[in-house]
Chain A
Amino acid sequence: MRVLSKDTVDAIESLKKRYPTTLACTLPALHLAQKQLGFLSEDAEHDVAEVLDVPPARVHEVVTFYTMFHDHKVGRHVVKICRNLACQLRGADKVIAHAEKVLGIKCGETTADGRVTLEHEECLAACGTAPMLWHGMPGDGGSPGNETFVENLTEEKLEKFLRGLS
């Protein structure tokens, strides 16, 4: 293994009994790898492919297709703000502009201290509590699924949330 820890490899191994093929473990395995590493480098893809005994190209295409997988280093916190229609009708454009102002970066960028990566997001199925954002910590080592929504955003609530991220 180039970069995956023994714990991650064991966790991926234990996925295999859930599916009739090892290829089907690709998405959950990548979620686990990203939890350990924070992002998915070529070495990480190589390791996942080795554990699953599938061609590395299979893993690489999956990493590049899905928006939750990062193929380059991102901030400790990833904050994605919904810009889709239901949120826009409730002021998402201003919320996004305010987040960019507070953090001093544009969507798609990471703060210089590596604290926060800010991104646009498309609809996250919280249209009744718009505007909203999604928060995740890709490399926190925890189990996948620790992500949270922050809903019914105002500019004040957003600012307090962003400043509270350590």
Chain B
Amino acid sequence: MTNAADWAPKGFEQTLSKRWFVSDGWTYAGYVRDGGYEALRKCLGMQPDEIIDQVKKSNLRGRGGAGFPTGMKWGFVPKESKVPKYLVINADESEPGTYKDRYILSRDPHLLLEGCAIGAKAIGANKIYIYIRGEFGLPYRRIQHAVKEAYEKGIFGDSSMGSGYRIDCVVHRGAGAYICGEETALLESLEGKIGRPRLKPPFPAVKGAFAGPTSVNNVETIACVPLIFSRGVDWFLKQGSPGNGGPKLMCVSGHVERPGIYEIPNGYPANKFLELCGGVWKGRKLKGIQPGGSSTPVLKPQPCKALAPEGAPEHAWPLETDTPLDFDNVKKAGSMFGSAGMMVFDENTCMVRSLLTLANFYAHESCGQCTPCREGTGWVAKILYKLEHGEGTDADIAKLMSATDYMMGMTICVLADSIAMPVKSFFDKYRDEFMDHVRNKKCSFGDYAVEPTPYNFWEDATAERAS
């Protein structure tokens, strides 16, 4: 067993992750004992407009990657509709580096369900679909169990908590496709088709699932919603930074001493966060981080003017890797906060190899609908393979750059951008390493040893044994 306090800054009260450390935290009884479903009871007595207004005031922003204000998204769903409206939960967590939703689903599923019910009431939907990643075993079993309990206890059904408001909830399993994490591809997949993103407009708020007005929200976003109503908007705002309300789950992986999920206030500085994770492992130096998942540009420990106060002298500039962790500041530092899947690279990491691994992934996952993505991701992967294996030339590097130019902003969804941006940033910031691969006709970095973490608390097998 591990100590809950080890996974948050000193003195910061965990709210999203606190029940993960309680053995029956995932059950209805455990949830209600901790005051669960009281926020829903409150919301069922409120007007939908009031609920949306509170969420707007809380500055809750979507945790799936885009950081779009949740209250505004709900506000786009028309009040009157001749066809049924839907709330769809995106639990298709698959951005490399990101693994927070898996723990909400498996260790505190009722927090998600309470948020779902509040969201359904807010947008006037009677039906919730939770689209969960097909490969998930334990999270699927736990959320299924929680939905069954919620029906038995009258949270879902004809009259949610006796309010007269009907809420139905269906858990829908995907079948293995990264692209289905894109909201319109997810809707296509929910409708039983192959996961190809739709052209927008119409946006899902107007025409989403089964052509009805739909809000698609990330698991963590929805899990934040009950907190806004149980603790209050002011409390929620205080847990974050200006424009970025609430606590944040950070997923950290790669070369830190203590990988795992940490709960931090939005706006917590990345350098202090790395200290919290025990620092770069084995006393090695930091080479870079991808702050928000595999598709976010890499940050290097180099001075960053955009993060410095106006007029500060160059020697006083903070480093890119000191950025406060919220949507606005990480953007200023030149990257994106995305889904908060931070991958940390030590000084012995080969950046060409890392980028090749990512490129192979995007080439594998391109749905094939748009030519710049289908062809571009393949070419990027082929060129990087040549570079990493000592067969690359200067002309290949020029080709790599021009390929990314033809990919960015040219496609229906952002999958092509999601590899083009890392390619540009890896090359800009670690140009010497790329050139060394060309000049030496080989990769000078060694193989990586097999080094798992000692923290079996985070394993599904541990959670399942404890129940």
Chain A positions within 8 Å of B, measured between CB atoms, are 18-21, 23-28, 30-31, 54, 58, 61-62, 65-69, 83-86, 88-91, 93-95, 121-131, 134, 136, 144-155, 157
With an 8 A cutoff between CB atoms, is B72 at the interface? no
Listed by A's residue number, 26 A-B pairs whose Cβ atoms lie within 8 Å are A20-B84, A62-B175, A67-B176, A68-B134, A85-B254, A90-B253, A90-B254, A90-B453, A91-B450, A91-B452, A93-B448, A94-B447, A95-B450, A122-B94, A125-B99, A125-B136, A127-B96, A128-B458, A129-B458, A131-B450, A147-B137, A148-B137, A148-B461, A150-B461, A151-B459, A154-B450
| Per-residue A-contact encoding for B198-228, CB less than 8 Å = 1, 0 else | 0000000000001000000000000000000
Given contacts A122-B96, A127-B341, A127-B343, contact A147 B173 (CB under 8 A): no
A-B contact count (CB 8 A): 211
Measured CB to CB, the nearest residue on chain A to B456 is: A152
The one of B94, B364, B453 that contacts A129, using a Cβ cutoff of 8 Å: B453
| Per-residue A-contact encoding for B432-461, CB less than 8 Å = 1, 0 else | 000000000000000111111111101111
The one of B101, B189, B357, B461 that contacts A151, using a Cβ cutoff of 8 Å: B461
Bound Cα distance A58, B191 (Å):
11
Measured CB to CB, the nearest residue on chain B to A147 is: B137
Contact A127 B137 (CB under 8 A): no
Bound Cα distance A58, B448 (Å):
43
Contact B253 A127 (CB under 8 A): yes
Q: Considering residues A67, A89, A95, A157, which has the most beta carbons from chain B within 10 angstroms of its beta carbon?
A: A89
With an 8 A cutoff between CB atoms, is B109 at the interface? no
Bound Cα distance A136, B136 (Å):
10
With an 8 A cutoff between CB atoms, is B172 at the interface? yes
With an 8 A cutoff between CB atoms, is B190 at the interface? yes
Contact A128 B253 (CB under 8 A): yes
Contact B137 A23 (CB under 8 A): no
Bound Cα distance A157, B94 (Å):
25
Q: Which residues of B contact A28 (CB under 8 A)?
A: 172-173
How many chain-B residues does the 8 Å CB contact rule pick out? 70
Chain B positions within 8 Å of A, measured between CB atoms, are 84, 93-99, 101-102, 133-138, 140-141, 144, 170, 172-178, 189-195, 210, 251-255, 259-261, 294, 341, 343, 345, 349, 353-354, 357-358, 361, 364-365, 367, 447-456, 458-461
Contact A84 B361 (CB under 8 A): yes
Q: Which residues of A contact B460 (CB under 8 A)?
A: 126, 148-149, 151
Contact A89 B449 (CB under 8 A): no
Given contacts A123-B95, A127-B251, contact A27 B175 (CB under 8 A): yes
Q: Which residues of A contact B192 (CB under 8 A)?
A: 21, 23-27, 54, 58, 62
Contact B191 A154 (CB under 8 A): no
Bound Cα distance A136, B134 (Å):
11
Q: Which residues of B contact A129 (CB under 8 A)?
A: 259, 452-453, 455-456, 458-459
Bound Cα distance A149, B191 (Å):
28
Bound Cα distance A90, B455 (Å):
14
Bound Cα distance A48, B459 (Å):
36
Q: Considering residues B99, B173, B174, which has the most beta carbons from chain A within 10 angstroms of its beta carbon?
A: B99
Given contacts A67-B175, A94-B450, A127-B259, contact A145 B96 (CB under 8 A): no
The one of B261, B294, B367 that contacts A85, using a Cβ cutoff of 8 Å: B294
Given contacts A21-B191, A95-B450, A151-B458, contact A86 B254 (CB under 8 A): yes
Q: Which residues of B contact A95 (CB under 8 A)?
A: 450
Given contacts A18-B170, A94-B447, contact A130 B137 (CB under 8 A): no
